[in-house]
């Protein structure tokens, strides 16, 4: 209603000017609007009306406001109006680091620290080969899949995680000597192909990113799809050599997946 009555100016994204005003996830509410004083006052008035109607009191001290393309002086003005804190970048939302560069190894430091103590060598000395395989598969599931489904892990980080798995699987003895009985590519093959069925991390990352391309071509009408269609041109622009204007690192990763051997052709055949 506040949008229909032009009380809040929606944020317009891309060439098609897709309007985004409010998103809700779990118990969080995110407002998106143009940076002006009217919007700040009307958001606060809307929340006060909600308090009077529902009896639920908003807590501005637990809320934060972030800026994009405005100076710090304007931001402080909106902070004073809403009586909330400033949201810096990068920040953590639902366990995910937002605003960081996933191309840097430091972005993935937490995932490496998760795997190292769980696959340390002293544990392997007390486990059979089958026990080691089960533990490796279990630890891989502890890596948040929403990280891998959105961000392409750099090769140096993926290689480090594979190294930790390989040393845990083949390491034995107090001095940590290794006897490698099979190549890692063979280990990652399914059991039906005489492998050990351990997940190939590099292939898994590419597959998760490819799922976004699949959803771009199949999930029509969703807001996120309309935004990407307006900003980048949708899945059809992935096969083009370049985009007009700047593109995000995430969209570049999708273009790389599209350009991978056979992927783009398979997607086009499926979307016809």
* All residues at 6 or more sequence positions from 168 whose CB lies less than 8 Å from its CB, including other chains: 119, 120, 121, 123, 124, 132, 135, 136
Q: Average of pLDDT values for 184-196?
A: 86
Confidence of residue 243 (pLDDT cuts 50, 70, 90): low
CB atoms within 10 A of CB 17: 10
pLDDT of res. 82: 86
Mean pLDDT of the chain: 80
179 vs 211: which has the higher pLDDT = 211
* Mean pLDDT value of segment 103-132: 77
Per-residue pLDDT at 244 exceeds 60? no
C-alpha neighbours within 13 Å on the C-beta side of residue 243: 23
Percentage of the chain modeled with pLDDT above 90: 0
Q: At what angle do helices 201-218 and 223-232 cross, to 10 degrees?
A: 90
Three-state SS at 75: helix
Does residue 82 contact residue 65 with C-beta atoms inside 8 Å?
yes
Query: Average pLDDT of 24-48?
Result: 85
pLDDT, position 211: 87
Q: Which residues contact residue 17 at a Cβ distance below 8 angstroms, ignoring those fewer than 6 apart? A: 230
Mean pLDDT, range 207-234, rounded to an integer: 86
Of residues 226 and 241, which shows the higher confidence score? 226
Q: What is the pLDDT of residue 245?
A: 56
Q: Looking at residues 38-47, what average pLDDT do you find?
A: 86
d(CA 187, CA 16): 48
pLDDT of residue 177: 60
Distance in angstroms (rounded) separating the CA atoms of residues 165 and 198:
10
List, for residues 43-88, the tens digit of each pLDDT value: 888 888 888 888 888 777 788 888 877 888 888 888 888 888 888 8
Q: Answer with the residue of higher pLDDT: 229 or 264.
A: 229
SS3 24: strand
Alpha carbon distances (Å) from 47 to 24, 51, 187, 188: 14, 6, 56, 53
Residue 172 is predicted with a pLDDT of: 61
What is the band of 4 on the pLDDT scale with cuts at 50, 70, 90?
low
Average confidence (pLDDT) over 26-30: 81
Q: Is 228 exposed, middle or buried (0-12, 13-18, 19+ CB in 10 A)?
A: buried
Please report which confidence band the pLDDT of residue 142 belongs to, taking 50, 70 and 90 as the band edges. low
Is the per-residue pLDDT at 150 higher than 70? yes
């Amino acid at each position: 209603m506040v949008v229909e009555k032009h009380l809040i100016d929606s944020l317009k994204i891309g060439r098609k000017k897709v309007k985004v005003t409010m998103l809700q996830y779990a118990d969080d509410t995110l407002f998106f609007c143009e940076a002006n004083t009217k919007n700040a006052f009307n958001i606060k008035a809307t929340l006060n009306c909600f308090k009077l109607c529902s009896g639920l009191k908003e807590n501005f001290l637990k809320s934060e406001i972030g800026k994009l393309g405005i100076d710090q002086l304007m931001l402080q003005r909106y902070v004073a109006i809403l009586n909330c804190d400033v949201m810096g970048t990068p920040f953590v939302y639902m366990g995910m680091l937002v605003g960081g560069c996933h191309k840097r190894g430091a972005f993935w430091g937490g995932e490496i620290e998760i795997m190292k103590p769980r696959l340390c060598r002293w544990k392997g000395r007390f486990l059979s080969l089958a026990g080691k395989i089960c533990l490796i598969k279990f630890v891989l599931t502890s890596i948040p899949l929403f990280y891998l489904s959105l961000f392409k892990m750099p090769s140096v980080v993926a290689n480090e995680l594979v190294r930790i798995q390989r040393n845990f699987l083949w390491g034995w003895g107090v001095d940590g000597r290794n006897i490698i009985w099979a190549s890692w590519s063979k280990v990652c093959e399914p059991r039906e192909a005489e492998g050990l069925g351990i997940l190939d991390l590099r292939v898994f990352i590419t597959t998760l990113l490819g799922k976004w391309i699949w959803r771009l071509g199949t999930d029509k009408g969703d807001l996120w799809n309309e935004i990407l269609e307006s900003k980048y041109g949708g899945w059809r622009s992935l096969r083009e050599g370049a985009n007009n204007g700047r593109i995000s690192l995430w969209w570049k990763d999708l273009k790389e997946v599209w350009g991978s051997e056979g992927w783009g052709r398979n997607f086009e055949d499926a979307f016809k």
